Structures are given as C-alpha cells and as structure tokens.
Amino acid sequence: MKNLLIIDDEKLLVENMEFILKPYASRIFTGYNGKEGLEILEKENIHCVICDISMPVMSGVEFIKEVRRRGIDVPVVFYSAFGNHELMMEVAKYGAFDFLSKPDFRDVETVIMRGLAEGFRKNEKTERSDEYFISEYQKLLEKIETHHGEE
C-alpha cells in the first residue's frame, strides 16, 4: 500500500493531479498549503509528497525545511510555474527528490512512481534499485555533486 500526499493551493490542480495519479497510489491525501501537508504527514504513513512551491500560509520551501527538521525522510517532488535554477538548488539542499515545471506534467507519472517506490523502500528498509528514469533535475544534481567532488 503506497500513499501519496498532494499539496497545492489550487483546488482544481489538486483534483487533476488526483485523477492523473490515482492508478499509482493506494491512497491519496490532499492539503492546500504546507501547514495542512505537515499535519497530514504527521498522522498518516505517506510514501511520497508532490508539492507546489508558491502557496499561502506555508510555502513548499518552508514545508520541506520543516519536514527535514522533524526528521521525516519522505521523497518530496516539487513543481512550480516559477521553476528556476536557484529554486531547484534551494530545495535540493533539503533533499528534494525531484522538481517538475508547471504546467508541463509530461513526466509526473514516472516521477511519482519512482518517488512512491523510493518512499516505500525507505519505509520497508529494503535495498534501492537504480533501474529508473532519471529526470533533468536529478541529472543537474549529479552534475553538481560531480563538480564539487572535483574541487
């Protein structure tokens, strides 16, 4: 049983994401800002989170900072219409699993399937497999890690 949490302040987008991702998750929980998302994350066994960056009450960046501060190691996939390199680097510092750009959700199913599998593996304490699609965000992180390792 793999549980997904969708966090976004746009109700229609949340409903669309639920519809698209329903085949990949056993249960889908929804929150309309980072604070609601945290409350759900504390109560439920969530295997992956997909979260907007720009929201009222608590932004996606504030959300992941608080999640990590609380020691919760769930894969968090971000998406934003305002995606840029600096924003990607900010969420990467807190271990974001992936980053997608709104409204281009071409890879959302693949990324969420990987995120759910990773979260489930972490939850079940099983070994990780690298036989999955690698997104542009993860390629960027690998380049940065390689570049820092050369210094």
Measuring CA to CA, how many Å separate 22 from each of 31, 135, 146?
A: 16, 21, 36
**Nearest Cα to Cα of residue 61 among 29, 30, 86:** 86
Specify the residue for token string 């542009």.
136
Question: Which residues, including other chains, have CB under 8 Å from residue 83's CB and lie 6 or more apart?
Answer: 53, 99, 100, 101, 102
- Structural domain boundaries in the chain: 3-150
Measuring CA to CA, how many Å separate 82 from each of 100, 101, 150?
A: 10, 8, 31
3-150: CATH topology is Rossmann fold (3.40.50)
3: helix, strand or coil: strand
Q: Which residues pair with 6 in a beta bridge?
A: 30, 50
pTM value > 0.85: no
Q: What is the pLDDT along the chain (151 residues), one digit of tens a residue?
A: 799 999 999 999 999 999 999 999 999 999 999 999 999 999 999 999 999 988 889 988 899 999 999 999 899 998 877 666 777 788 888 888 988 877 777 788 888 988 898 888 877 753 344 444 556 666 666 666 666 655 5
